[in-house]
């Protein structure tokens, strides 16, 4: 026999932050109950916040309502109860109860209820074994039971105060629960009030309750958080399970309790990934150096500075961490006798005493000292020291910078610039860098007077450690708060690459100073004894750093070059250690030759050193290439050469080969000895002078390949002598698709690693010698989203790679009340997408978001996209060119699947085939081939739906899902109605294969249950369309199951959804009025 099924039901009001927090705590105490469904309605001021929280936690198990009808609680609960189809209902009566037993007990309880035909089980707030000592009990493992009559009812009332045993609090059989809330006679007899489910004073002896078999739990199930109405000593607070540090009414308001997983330190520590942080630092163009510390040097230093050991020996597992922080400060500061050094936030430290003994003029600065300078102690705020200008050689902060509240971290940077001497330094160790930007504090800390950083979240320690305030930066926040405020200072993030060596050497020690910040009042590179860092432009270390990534890139690119260009010989100018030549060699090219400025040991090269012309002065006007080859490559070299030799250098390349694969850094890309960063136009003009034509065929194929270094994905292109095209048919074909462009935007595919620098100055296209033509239509991309930040990130990321000019489109993200990191994702992409704006519109519903986007759109063409698509680079270009024809009003394109996991075989059975191609509507997948064609209007689908703005207004907008998806009866026909209205206007719909996107199909969608639900939703839409067309209800549909299981689910869903909607419209006059409204939006819309 299958186990009984359970729904958790709740209908309450949340009108304060306190109650919102109580509800979260209550929910988290019993969310692990194995319930098939949660049916919840929340009213009140904080209903949106409560809904967002529950949806994030429960996902598809939640059936969420936000009803607050004039008829009151009973009417709304009656509507909700129709969604209950399980065996039992657990009634979550209050927002301030917590479960105190193992959630697994509920599986056993409902099994015993079914076995004994128990219709109702009251759960207790405080259980004592004597409560039912005079009641005859039937032995079961988890509950006793009795048949309720007047005598047993009196006994219950005498032995158990109403606060503990009431019929409204507990687990019901679904039959009894629906009898209570749906039976008109019961409702009338009990005289239900509006705001409470049961009139506790009048319902005890109601005959409709008798006879009922009642179960009595043998152990405590729930306890109240507070003492509102329960026996003293019964609540969680009094028993120490729930900590109270302030009067209850202000606990929620001061945000003292944040049990949500995403706001706990343990969760954020778990997701912290240093490799990801390193990549994100590069994305926001923060200078970064990976450093190896010498363990033996540290040990020697520690023996010389025994005072440091003595000071921190009591720190137990952080002893080495504290010593390392001082070692890093000492090494990077390069302190010398006679220099002025300040230890910031140094109260209780003996570090300055150590340095004074060694001749350094060391001072401790701290707010707790008396104001002014007293010996070697300075009483002052680090952001306003009062010290003279240009008076300090070095400063350091050990576990201090993170404690600077409010804007004092920014102010400290400005103060450092003022008081540092030229060449002065600041060392911050550790730099707290995390996946999220957050403020960490203890549960007891009062931060009511401290403004929260913009974009930061508040995180609470889960242990008893007392920490008032600790700022943890995300890479993006670090760029915004610190690196954007340097104003003449120079800063580098130092990543300690070998901390594991220290952890092995010092077992049991917590060592966490992986990221550190070095700031100087000079542009000189960091070079410190005992640390491994860059000390020259091209030394062994430089090549070691480059070769692995470069080699992997070559392995991905070279096979494509061989396939298209078909060379038999290759020259690499600026070949480094010969990695690319070695990959050519592995692929069968034996005639290879390299040129490079350095002369390294033979064992440093990938190929025979004899094949490399070392000590080649590429920057000299006398440089010449003596060999000839079928193909010459020159990758990320030209930016290192003076501008005055650029043209001569290009001439040398073209003299040596008819085909040149070329890559050079863009303006703002930055790098070691980049002295001539130029736009693509600059180099194209040089090659054109010598008769070479650009064929930019490589980048479109590698833009999304993470195995290839970003600088190649961004910059690599190909220049050819025209006669080559007469003998190479494949290259000639590619030239027609990717040849030299007259429209400037074709070369402005700017990679994420360099975009921010470029945007800080003039846009790349303004550097062109060819002015950009502005006859391209302006597009407004509109993306409604809610709580899907990770998917939104990928969608926006794909928009940074578009071939369409960035000054001809805008991106509008409509945030429908997200509580995750959506806002932070938008803020991050504001640095990468020139015209991006995020609009917060908490109104639920996809089409509310779409209409908000329409209101904000500046473009004549509206491009609607889902937040789980990834656009191909030609997407916007394909859309724009399709609207050249004024008779075209709708444009779509390929929608290709991106499955999170391999799809089951039955997915293929859902395909529909037409004479133009195939589609799979249940997953919004469509492929009509590689030819531009006119298509039926219904095949322009919502995740890739472009329309003229004036046309959308004329058809009165979308018939909206104007309420949350949970209220499925309010589902409209969305873009389908728009498409048919456009068809009726005589306007065209176009399919352009260039306007292609990938659509993410999550694993949870690859189930028969999902297909049924999707079909059910469509059935509701079909009913909606039918009622609007016929102005009346239709006959109930009947379900005739086919033999195939998946098609059975589809047919059943369509029928069930259709019938459900028809019934709802018949029962609810307001819903019927909503369905039959003439228009929803636009020139003729009903407000």
Q: What is the pLDDT of residues 319-342, one digit of tens each?
A: 889 999 999 999 888 888 889 999
Distance CA 201, CA 198 (A): 9
Sign of CA dihedral 182, 188, 193, 198: negative
Which pLDDT score is estimated for 5? 93
Distance CA 135, CA 255 (A): 45
Q: What is the pLDDT of residues 648-694, one digit of tens each?
A: 999 999 999 999 999 998 876 666 678 888 878 889 989 999 999 99
Distance CA 569, CA 592 (A): 6
Task: Please tell me whether residues 253 and 276 are part of one structural domain.
Answer: no
Highest mean pLDDT among 26-30, 352-356, 912-916: 352-356
Which pLDDT score is estimated for 228? 43
Task: Please tell me whether residues 280 and 247 are part of one structural domain.
Answer: no
Q: Out of 165-179, 512-526, 847-861, pick the least confident.
A: 165-179
Q: Where are the alpha helices (DSSP H) in 496-578?
A: 499-505, 540-565
Which pLDDT score is estimated for 493? 93
Considering 467, 491, 520, which residue would you say is the last residue of a domain?
520
Q: Is residue 774 part of a domain?
A: no
Q: Name which residue leads in pLDDT, 371 or 524.
A: 371
Residue 570 pLDDT greater than 90, yes or no: yes
Q: Is residue 856 part of a domain?
A: yes
Q: Is residue 879 part of a domain?
A: yes
Residue 537 pLDDT greater than 60, yes or no: no
Q: Name which residue leads in pLDDT, 754 or 552.
A: 552
Q: How confident is the model at residue 925 (pLDDT cuts 50, 70, 90)?
A: confident
Residue 418 pLDDT greater than 90, yes or no: yes
Q: Name which residue leads in pLDDT, 452 or 997.
A: 997
| Contact indicator for 585, 554 with CB cutoff of 8 Å | no
Distances (CA, A) of 84 to 152, 182, 662: 30, 12, 65
Q: Is residue 534 part of a domain?
A: no
Q: Name which residue leads in pLDDT, 485 or 719.
A: 719
Task: Please tell me whether residues 118 and 156 are part of one structural domain.
Answer: yes
Q: What is the DSSP string of 705-771?
A: -TTS-HHHHHH-EEEE-GGGGGT-HHHHHHHHHHS--SSGGGG----HHHHHHHHHSS-GGGG-SSP
CATH number at residue 813: 3.90.550.10
Q: Is residue 444 part of a domain?
A: yes
Containing domain of residue 147, as a range?
Answer: 6-257
Task: Please tell me whether residues 1076 and 996 are part of one structural domain.
Answer: no
Residue 27 burial (10 A CB sphere; 0-12, 13-18, 19+): buried
Considering 520, 550, 575, which residue would you say is the last residue of a domain?
520
Q: How confident is the model at residue 1087 (pLDDT cuts 50, 70, 90)?
A: very low
Which pLDDT score is estimated for 748? 39
Structure token digits, residue 173? 């059989």
Mean pLDDT across 279-300: 85
Mean pLDDT across 1000-1022: 86
Instruction: Spell out the SS3 assignment of 1053-1080.
Output: HHHHHHHHHHHHHHHCHHHHHHHCCCCC
Task: Please tell me whether residues 278 and 204 are part of one structural domain.
Answer: no
Which pLDDT score is estimated for 688? 92
Q: Is residue 532 part of a domain?
A: no
Residue 129 burial (10 A CB sphere; 0-12, 13-18, 19+): exposed
Structure token digits, residue 351? 């570090």
Task: Please tell me whether residues 435 and 351 are part of one structural domain.
Answer: yes
Which pLDDT score is estimated for 672? 67
Residue 826 pLDDT greater than 80, yes or no: yes
Structure token digits, residue 567? 């060379």
Q: Name which residue leads in pLDDT, 650 or 485.
A: 650
Q: How confident is the model at residue 127 (pLDDT cuts 50, 70, 90)?
A: very low
Q: Out of 151-165, 168-182, 377-391, pick the least confident.
A: 151-165
Mean pLDDT across 929-945: 89
Task: Please tell me whether residues 70 and 40 are part of one structural domain.
Answer: yes
Which pLDDT score is estimated for 441? 81
Which pLDDT score is estimated for 169? 65
Task: Please tell me whether residues 762 and 675 are part of one structural domain.
Answer: yes
Considering 705, 733, 767, which residue would you say is the last residue of a domain?
767
Number of domains in the chain: 5
C-alpha 691, offset from chain centre: 47
Task: Please tell me whether residues 147 and 228 are part of one structural domain.
Answer: yes
Mean pLDDT across 603-625: 87
Which pLDDT score is estimated for 746? 35
Query: How many Cβ atoms sit within 10 Å of the Cβ of residue 936?
Result: 12
| Contact indicator for 903, 831 with CB cutoff of 8 Å | no
Mean pLDDT across 972-993: 87
Residue 38 pLDDT greater than 90, yes or no: yes
| Contact indicator for 427, 526 with CB cutoff of 8 Å | no
The upper half-sphere exposure of residue 94, i.e. CA atoms within 13 Å in the direction of its Cβ, equals 17
Task: Please tell me whether residues 998 and 1019 are part of one structural domain.
Answer: no
Q: Is residue 262 part of a domain?
A: no
Q: Is residue 225 part of a domain?
A: yes
Q: Out of 221-230, 344-353, 701-710, 1055-1064, pick the least confident.
A: 221-230
Which pLDDT score is estimated for 880? 92
Q: What is the pLDDT of residues 868-878, one digit of tens each?
A: 998 988 899 99
Distances (CA, A) of 1080 to 952, 957, 1064, 1076: 12, 7, 20, 10
Q: Name which residue leads in pLDDT, 347 or 752.
A: 347
Task: Please tell me whether residues 729 and 828 are part of one structural domain.
Answer: no
Task: Please tell me whether residues 401 and 465 are part of one structural domain.
Answer: yes
Q: How confident is the model at residue 32 (pLDDT cuts 50, 70, 90)?
A: confident
Which pLDDT score is estimated for 417? 93
Sign of CA dihedral 6, 67, 64, 921: positive
């Amino acid at each position: 026999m299958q186990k009984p099924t359970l729904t958790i039901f709740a209908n309450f009001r949340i009108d304060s932050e306190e109650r919102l927090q109580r509800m979260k705590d209550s929910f988290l105490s019993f969310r692990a109950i194995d319930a098939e469904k949660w049916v919840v309605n929340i009213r009140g001021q904080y209903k949106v916040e409560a809904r967002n929280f529950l949806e994030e936690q429960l996902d598809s198990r939640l059936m969420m309502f936000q009803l607050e009808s004039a008829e009151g609680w009973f009417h709304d609960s009656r509507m909700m109860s129709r969604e209950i189809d399980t065996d039992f209902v657990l009634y979550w009566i209050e927002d301030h109860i917590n479960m105190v037993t193992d959630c697994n007990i509920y599986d056993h309880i409902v099994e015993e209820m079914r076995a004994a035909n128990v219709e109702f089980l009251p759960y207790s707030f405080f259980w004592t074994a004597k409560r039912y000592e005079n009641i005859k009990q039937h032995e079961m493992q988890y509950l006793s039971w009795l048949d309720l009559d007047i005598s047993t009812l009196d006994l219950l009332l005498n032995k158990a105060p109403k606060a503990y045993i009431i019929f409204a609090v507990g687990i019901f059989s679904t039959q009894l629960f629906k009898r209570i809330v749906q039976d008109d006679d019961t409702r009338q007899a009990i005289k239900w009030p509006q705001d409470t489910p049961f009139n506790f004073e009048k319902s005890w002896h109601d005959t409709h309750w008798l006879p009922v078999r009642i179960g009595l739990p043998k152990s405590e199930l729930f306890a109240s958080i507070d003492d509102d109405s329960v026996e003293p000593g019964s609540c969680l607070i009094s028993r120490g399970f729930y900590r109270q540090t302030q009067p209850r009414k202000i606990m929620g308001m001061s945000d003292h309790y944040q049990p949500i997983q995403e706001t706990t330190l343990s969760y954020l520590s778990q997701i912290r990934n240093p490799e990801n942080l390193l990549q994100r630092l590069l994305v926001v163009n923060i200078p970064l150096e990976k450093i190896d510390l010498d363990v033996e040097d540290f040990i020697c230093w520690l023996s010389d500075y025994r005072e440091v050991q003595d000071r921190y020996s009591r720190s137990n597992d952080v002893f080495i961490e504290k010593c390392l922080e001082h070692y890093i400060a000492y090494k990077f500061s390069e302190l010398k006798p006679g220099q002025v050094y300040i230890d910031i936030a140094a109260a209780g430290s003996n570090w300055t005493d150590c340095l004074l003994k060694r001749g350094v003029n060391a001072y401790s600065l701290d707010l707790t000292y008396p104001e002014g300078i007293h010996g070697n102690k300075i009483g002052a705020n680090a952001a306003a020291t009062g010290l003279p200008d240009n008076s300090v050689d070095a400063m350091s902060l050990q576990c201090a910078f993170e404690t600077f509240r409010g804007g004092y971290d920014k102010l400290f940077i400005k103060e450092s610039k003022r008081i540092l001497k030229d060449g002065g330094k600041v060392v911050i160790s550790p730099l707290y860098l995390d996946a999220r930007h957050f403020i960490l504090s203890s549960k007891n800390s009062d931060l009511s007077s401290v403004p929260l950083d913009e974009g930061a979240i508040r995180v609470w320690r889960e242990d008893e450690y007392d920490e008032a305030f600790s700022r943890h930066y995300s890479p993006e926040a670090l760029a915004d708060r610190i690196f954007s405020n340097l104003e003449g200072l120079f800063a580098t993030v130092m990543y300690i690459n070998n901390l594991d060596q220290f952890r092995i050497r010092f077992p049991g020690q917590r060592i966490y100073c992986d990221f550190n910040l070095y700031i100087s009042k000079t542009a000189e590179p960091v070079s410190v004894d005992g640390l491994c860092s860059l000390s020259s432009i091209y030394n062994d270390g430089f090549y070691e750093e480059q070769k692995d990534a470069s080699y992997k890139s070559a392995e991905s690119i070279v096979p494509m070059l061989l396939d298209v260009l078909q060379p038999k010989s290759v020259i690499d100018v600026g070949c480094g250690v010969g990695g690319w030549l070695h990959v050519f060699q592995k692929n069968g090219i034996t005639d290879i030759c390299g040129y490079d400025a350095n002369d390294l040991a033979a064992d440093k090269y990938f190929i025979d050193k004899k094949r490399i012309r070392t000590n080649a002065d590429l920057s000299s006007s006398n440089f010449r290439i003596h060999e000839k080859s079928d193909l010459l490559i020159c990758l990320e070299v030209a930016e290192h050469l003076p501008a005055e030799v650029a043209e001569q250098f290009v001439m040398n390349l073209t003299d040596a080969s008819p085909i040149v694969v070329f890559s050079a850094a863009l303006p703002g890309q930055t790098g070691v000895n980049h002295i001539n960063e130029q736009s693509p136009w600059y180099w194209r003009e040089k090659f054109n002078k010598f008769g070479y034509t650009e064929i930019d065929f490589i980048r479109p194929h590698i833009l999304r390949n993470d195995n290839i270094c970003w600088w190649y994905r961004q910059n690599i292109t190909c220049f050819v002598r025209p006669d080559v095209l007469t003998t190479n048919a494949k290259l000639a074909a590619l030239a027609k698709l990717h040849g030299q462009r007259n429209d400037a935007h074709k070369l402005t595919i700017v990679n994420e690693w360099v975009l921010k620098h470029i945007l800080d100055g003039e846009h790349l296209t303004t550097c062109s010698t060819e002015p950009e033509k502005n006859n391209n239509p302006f597009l407004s991309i509109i993306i409604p989203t809610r709580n899907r930040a990770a998917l939104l990130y990928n969608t926006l990321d794909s928009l940074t790679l578009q071939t369409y000019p960035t000054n001809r489109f805008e991106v509008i993200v409509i945030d429908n009340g997200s509580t995750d990191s959506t806002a932070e994702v938008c803020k991050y992409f504001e640095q990468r997408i020139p015209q991006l704006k995020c609009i917060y519109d908490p109104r639920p519903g996809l089409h509310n978001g779409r209409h908000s986007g329409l209101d904000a759109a500046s473009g004549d063409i509206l491009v609607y996209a889902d937040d789980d698509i990834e656009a191909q680079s030609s997407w916007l270009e394909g859309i724009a060119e399709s609207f050249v024809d004024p008779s075209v009003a709708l444009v779509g394109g390929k929608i290709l699947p991106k499955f999170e996991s391999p799809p089951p075989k039955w997915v293929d059975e859902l395909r529909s085939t037409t004479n133009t191609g195939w589609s799979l509507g249940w997953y919004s997948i469509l492929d009509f081939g590689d030819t531009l064609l006119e298509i039926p209007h219904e095949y322009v689908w919502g995740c890739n739906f472009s329309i003229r703005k004036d046309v959308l207004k004329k058809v009165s907008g979308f018939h909206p899902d104007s309420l949350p998806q949970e209220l499925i009866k309010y589902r409209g026909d969305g873009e389908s109605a728009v498409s048919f209205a456009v068809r009726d206007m005589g306007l065209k719909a176009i399919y352009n294969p260039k306007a292609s996107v990938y659509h993410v199909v999550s694993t949870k969608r690859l189930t028969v249950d999902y297909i049924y639900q999707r079909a059910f939703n469509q059935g509701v839409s079909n009913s909606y369309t039918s009622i609007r067309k016929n102005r009346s209800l239709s006959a109930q549909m009947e379900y005739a199951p086919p033999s195939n299981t998946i098609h059975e689910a589809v047919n059943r869903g369509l029928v069930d959804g259709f019938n459900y909607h028809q019934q709802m419209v018949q029962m609810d006059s307001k819903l019927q009025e909503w369905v039959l409204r003439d228009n929803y939006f636009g020139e003729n819309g009903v407000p």
